[in-house]
Structure 1
Amino acid sequence: MITVQGVVDRVGPTLLRTVLPGERGVTDVVIAELGRRTHVADGDLVLGVTVNTAGKAAELVEYCGAHGAAAVLLKPPLAASSGALTAARDTGTAVVEVHNATAWAQLVWLLRTVLDAAEDDEHATEPGNQGLGDLFRLADAAAAVVDAPVTIEDANSRVLAYSARQDRTDPARVSTIMGRRVPDDVLARFRSRGVFRDLSRGRTTIFVPAQRDGTLPRLIVPIRMGGELLGSMWAVVPGPVSDERAAAFADTAPVVALHLLRRRALADAERRRSAELVRTMLQGKGSVRLAAAELDLDNEPHRVVAIDVDTTDALDAEGLRLALWERISAGVGRRPAVTELHGVLYAIVPDQAGWPALSEALRSETGALVGAGSPAEITELADSRAQAEEALSLVRARLVHGPVASHDEAWPVVALHRVAAAAVPTAAADLGPLPVLRAHDEQTGSSYVDTLYEWLRHPGDPKAAARALRIHANTLRYRMTRLTELTGLNLDDPDTRMAVTVQLATTRWA
């Protein structure tokens, strides 16, 4: 793992200077957001983009150091302020000064380039991985051939490597590199122009002219091997490219394809091994602690998260699950351990350092249905799995609002559902006058059952009950008079009210 000083050395003294060294390894780059408590994990380089006072600098360094950050990057004079340095010494984090004239966006590119290249270099030293560190060098070579900045992307539009000279591009490329994935709005624009359809059809090169929103022209080359689309290379070009230069750019694709195949083979083997370890932990059988150690899970409370997709098409569902698995495994917050069982994805995430980021990310995924168990000790995840599956079943049945539910937060719905499910076999909902109301609603189209339900849900507040039914309060009162005349219900009796409430909950929540 590369150190803070290693990152500073690779970026160069023109942009970065170590003010206070540290010994923690670096794993990722995080931007501190204005007005929000930034999620920080072990090994993060935290960029103080919005920090503008010495007090805020000291507060950020103290918070990041307490959460295991490798270093905090600040511009002068904040990097040398006494409060920031004191906080850094107390928490063991490093402080790095960023040259005043450096653009933060440019620095993010440079830092992620350094980290990605360092990670590839580490893989390259492992047995069987020789040559895997060359993707960034291949991106530079392809950029030299086409004389334009290049990205290498996988089949899911995730950025694997990119060349230098990205400062000569456009906002679409900037957001792609900063997010390490082509944003959805950018994908939609290229999809509307038929780019991905052309990629799938096997064209050698695809030229996309400049767009009205300012997006510069693109020259795109599919990366194929044995008829399979592995990814693509995207060059931001000033205009149409000569046939000779486009052909030379396309000639680099087979070399890149070999590297992508090797990377995928390694990733598939690691994923299979990780999936088996996750299954061991979910079942709570065998060497659970050994599995946790091999998955590098800390000894802290974790949650099991069950993830399904909202589609009835089996083939489409499989594709959506694979895409979700890819995105989750690529790292959302603290990278979760993931497996698939019976058509459902299961992830194990730290409660504090993983679940908030994963929950937020999954809410933005179209078609994802998510249930999370309560936090549990690392050896007791079988219970959290059962809770995750129960929460997921409530999401599928639309008994909770939204696509994501955690068992501990959705406990009122869980309780109602359990009571209702237990009452169904007893036919309790068929006792008394409630069947009369149901029959009347079916025959006349009235809504007396719904009216009674909302009246009981909002005791003493007829206006709230009327709002829930989207009717006037006087209409509610009229309906209540009519349904009591029809059934003879004595709603002044507390036991009758409770019994009818249980009956209606049974029909609504089972």
Structure 2
Amino acid sequence: MSQDQDDIFEPYSDNLELLAEKISDVLGRPVTIEDANHRLVAYSSHEPETDAARLATIVGRRVPDQIIGSLWRDGVMPRLLESEAPIRVAPIQEVGLSGRVATAIRLGSRVVGFIWVLEAERPFSEREMALFAKAAQAARTKMAQWQLQRHKEEEAHRDFFWQLLTGHLSNETLIRDKAQRIGITLPPQFHVVVLQFAAEVKESWQRQALEKCAPLSAYSRIVLHAINKNQLILLFAPITADTKDGVASQLGLLQQNLRTYFSPHFLGLASGCLYSEYGRLEDSYREALLLLEVKQRFPKETGDLVIYSDLGYYRYLPRIWEELQRHGRAGSQLARLRAYDQEHHSELVHTLEVFLAHDSNAKTAAEALHVHANTLNYRLKRIAEIGRIDLTSMEQKVTLYLELKAERFGGSNAL
């Protein structure tokens, strides 16, 4: 092994390929260097002890999603992100990962990459561990420069994402051709997730939010992301063919974690449906936006929802609201009740809304209104008379319930 000098790796710090070879030469083991998103940056020449996980990373130019997921599930990634010193990684046979030693490349407090060295049958000595730590220090500056070079590529990716989000690029063939040209591998399935903040998204918030999303790497990965004022927009792709319930469960946990971490700046998240045709990415985005709007209007009823397909009848409220505005509400049943309330300072509309919300159960509705059952029965009689409403008709009750909800969605001041 080469002599142990403080600057043993510094002469190679300007070229990450040469640095990988030097680390391999000094430690006598295969080496890979990755960026913070697990994209392959450099690797040493193959040796007989190279394992399947390393070969897959080299061929795909990125650590396979299944391996990243296993590293998170086994607690390797949290340890690696927290540790200032190299750590040992136990074998994970199901993904072809043999024993390794790994270290994070840090620029100040920020992790900009990772170095992985196969340990195989020859455990690292303390001296080798110290040399490995020096190698990570030598890689810092060049990794920062490499990230700057990636910046232009990321801008092209963001532009592509916005073309999909806004529907300016909707032809499936053109989408896939462009993705290939700019180096994006489109997964079989995707869904758009929008994180809503109380103020314009700062760069630090974006970085922290993406870090909070990292544990989901065991189930899905973020393909693209963009910022629009108060929103961080993410393109998620399930690693395996997942069910809607599986996606909703993971996003529900993420929403709880983000609320805890960013409180009070984080307002919630929403996901559109899963699709396989990228010409429908705009649909998934619009579904996520509508879910966020509904959650804002009905926080008690829908605040914990995270996926559009769980929205139920609330998804139809925008169209009902448009219909009410287009044809007006003068002379309607609710209009008559409101006119009476305004003239007599009563609460017939509110009473009706609570009654319907409690499935026409007079007992629970009276308790919710904090009135005697006889008082509620009198109000219901007046509602039927003044509004000309048949409270035994399911059709009339459903219509009234949806109109009341649509007016709340539209922000009607009459409520």
TM-score, normalization by structure 1: 0.48
Matched with 1:349 is 236
**How far apart are the structure 2 equivalents of 1:475 and 1:27?**
73
The CA distance in 1 between the partners of 2:276 and 2:290, in whole Å, is 19
**1:23 equivalent in alignment to 2:47:** no
Q: Tell me which moved more, 382-391 or 471-480.
A: 471-480
Q: Alpha carbons of 1:508 and 1:279: their partners in 2 closer, same or farther (altered >3 Å)? A: closer
Match of 1:364 in 2: 257
1:338 aligns with 2:221: no
**Paired residue secondary structure (1:43):** helix
Quote the Cα distance in structure 2 between the aligned partners of 1:47 and 1:493.
Answer: 55
1:402 alignment partner AA = G
Assess, with a 3 A threshold, how the Cα gap between structure 1 residues 262 and 379 changes in structure 2: closer, same or farther.
Answer: same
Deviates more, 1:279-288 or 1:448-457: 279-288
- From 413, 417, 421, give the equivalent of 2:322: 421
Deviation by residue 1:32-68 (Cα, 9 ceiling, x = unmatched): xxxxxxxx94223448879xxxxxxxxxxxxxxxxxx
Aligned with 1:310 (options 184, 191, 198): 198
Aligned counterparts of 1:415 and 1:8: Cα–Cα separation in 2 = 64
CA contact 1:329–1:337 (8 Å) conserved in 2: no
Structure 1 residue 269 and structure 2 residue 144: aligned? no
1:377 aligns to 2:281 (yes or no): no
Partner of 1:94: 96
Partner residue of 2:164?
A: 281
Q: Structure 1 unaligned runs (5+)? A: 12-19, 29-39, 51-71, 80-87, 98-109, 118-134, 137-151, 163-254, 312-316
TM-score where L is the length of structure 2? 0.57
* One-letter identity of the residue aligned with 2:257: S
CA contact 2:195–2:232 (8 Å) conserved in 1: yes
| 1:450-507 deviations in Å (ceiling 9; x for gaps) | 2112323334522343455455545433432343355453434555445434443442
> Residue 214 of structure 1 aligns with which residue?
none
Equivalent-residue separation in structure 2 for 1:295 and 1:325 (angstroms): 23
CA distance in 1, matches of 2:288, 2:304: 13
Matches within 5 A, 1:478-493: 478-493=378-393
Q: Provide the residue aligned with 2:208 in structure 1.
A: 327
Contact 1:370 1:403 in 2 (8 A): no
CA RMSD of aligned residues (A): 4.5
Check conservation: 2:294, 2:409, Cα contact below 8 A: no
In the alignment, which residue of structure 2 is the partner of 1:181?
Answer: none
The DSSP-based 3-state class of the residue aligned with 1:279 is helix
Residues 438-477 of structure 1 aligned to structure 2 (within 5 Å): 438-443=338-343, 445-469=345-369, 471=371, 473-477=373-377
Partner secondary structure for residue 299 of structure 1: coil
| Distance in 2 of aligned mates of 1:374 and 1:10 | 42
SS in 2 for 1:405: coil
Change (3 A) 1:501 1:310: same
Alignment of 1:125-136 (within 5 A): 135=106
Kindly provide the CA deviation profile for residues 264-309 of structure 1, in whole angstroms up to 9, marking residues without a partner as x. Answer: 6345334312212222333334731134445544431100123332
Q: Please state which structure has a larger fraction of its residues in helix.
A: 2
In the alignment, does 2:66 pair up with 1:42? Answer: yes
Equivalent pairs: percent with the same residue?
16
Distance 1:497 1:416 in 2: 16
Alpha carbons of structure 1 residues 358 and 394: separation in structure 2 relative to 1, 3 Å = same
Q: Which amino acid aligns with 1:437?
A: L
Structure-2 separation of matches of 1:362 and 1:348? 16
* Secondary structure of 1:308's aligned partner: strand
Q: How does 1:12-91 map to 2 (within 5 A)?
A: 22-25=51-54, 41-44=65-68, 45-46=70-71, 73=90
AA at the equivalent of 1:410: L
* Worse-superposed segment, 439-448 or 414-423: 439-448
Structure 2 Cα separation of the partners of residues 384 and 426 of structure 1: 30
Q: Which is worse superposed, 354-363 or 385-394?
A: 354-363
Q: Which of 1 and 2 has higher RCO (CA within 8 Å, sep 6+)?
A: 2
Q: What is the identity, as a one-letter code, of the residue corresponding to 1:335?
A: I
Instruction: Please say if residues 338 and 345 of structure 1, whose CA atoms lie closer than 8 Å, have aligned partners that are also in contact.
Output: yes
Inter-partner Cα distance in structure 2 for 1:389 and 1:383:
10
Give the drift of 1:96.
5.6
Mark the CA change 1:375 to 1:433 in structure 2 (over 3 Å): closer, same or farther. closer
Q: Is the 8 A contact 2:187 2:237 kept in 1?
A: no
- Separation in 1 of the partners of 2:179 and 2:320? 36
Of 459-468 and 376-385, the range deviating more from structure 2: 459-468
Distance (whole Å) between structure 2 residues aligned to residue 10 and residue 467 of structure 1? 71
* AA matched with 1:271: E
CA contact (8 A) 1:305 1:385 kept: yes
- 1:80-135 deviation line (CA, Å, top 9, x unaligned): xxxxxxxx5xxx533768xxxxxxxxxxxx96x43x35xxxxxxxxxxxxxxxxx4
CA distance in 2, matches of 1:445, 1:497: 24
Q: 1:297 to 1:260 in 2, by over 3 A?
A: closer
For 1:256 and 1:25, locate their aligned partners in 2 and report how far apart those are by CA, in whole Å.
Answer: 20
Local SS of the residue matching 2:52: coil
Aligned residues, how many? 302
- Give 1:272's aligned amino acid: E
Deviation at residue 374 of structure 1 after TM alignment: 0.8
Q: Is the 8 A contact 1:328 1:336 kept in 2?
A: no
